[in-house]
């Protein structure tokens, strides 16, 4: 490897056994790579069907800024675009200045929304204070509550004793 010259011109000189020297010069033009700023997704985790905002910041000098997965070209400086991926997606931003291309990535994690597949009361009519069994089954949830009381986030049953007509609400969430 040759030492890097402070000037972009390199000269090679060779001398044969007869003492004859010959030289060749080559000039290397160095184009600095584009300067990338932040490439973010806010929020970086969404539920299926929700949106996130991709934000791209690039210093002056870029001639082309492309984001894959159908987003396409975005402007220089700071640009934003709203996307709604249906599965976890890694977006690649490729920034070019005509001579160099520099890629970087940001990942958007997509979670399935919680689904309550079963929520029943048995029996549905009782005398005041009688036993009623609430049963539930949930998919894609990290936590669940019935009227503010934490319950199993997958499935379960609990007994309640209503003293008047009561509507129970099951709430399932995921992070």
Q: Which residues of the chain have pLDDT under 50?
A: none
pLDDT at site 19: 81
- Give the predicted TM-score (pTM) of the model: 0.67
CB-count exposure of residue 132 (10 Å: 0-12, 13-18, 19+):
middle
pLDDT at site 15: 87
Residue 112 neighbours by CB under 8 Å, 6+ apart: 47, 48, 139, 140, 174
5: helix, strand or coil: coil
pLDDT at site 1: 58
Which residue in the block uniquely carries the two structure tokens 């200045």?
97
Contact 87, 110 (CB under 8 A): yes
pLDDT at site 80: 96
pLDDT at site 81: 97
Which residue in the block uniquely carries the two structure tokens 């003492």?
19
pLDDT digits (tens, 9 = 90+) for 72-84: 999 888 999 999 9
Q: What is the residue-averaged pLDDT of the chain? A: 91
């Amino acid at each position: 490897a040759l030492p890097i010259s402070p000037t972009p011109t390199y000269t090679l000189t060779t001398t044969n056994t007869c003492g004859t020297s010959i030289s060749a010069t080559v000039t290397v033009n160095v184009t600095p790579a584009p300067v990338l700023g932040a490439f973010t997704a806010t929020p970086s985790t969404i539920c299926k069907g929700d949106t996130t905002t991709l934000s791209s910041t690039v210093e002056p000098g870029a001639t082309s800024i492309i984001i894959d997965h159908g987003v396409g070209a975005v402007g220089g400086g700071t640009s934003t675009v709203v996307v709604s991926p249906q599965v976890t997606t890694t977006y690649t931003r490729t920034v070019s200045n005509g001579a160099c291309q520099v890629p970087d990535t940001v990942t958007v994690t997509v979670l399935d929304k919680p689904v309550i597949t079963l929520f029943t009361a048995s029996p549905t009519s009782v005398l005041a204070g009688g036993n009623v069994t609430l049963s539930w089954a949930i998919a894609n949830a990290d936590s669940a509550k019935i009227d503010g009381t934490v319950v199993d986030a997958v499935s379960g049953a609990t007994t309640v004793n209503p003293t008047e007509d009561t509507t129970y609400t099951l709430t399932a969430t995921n992070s």
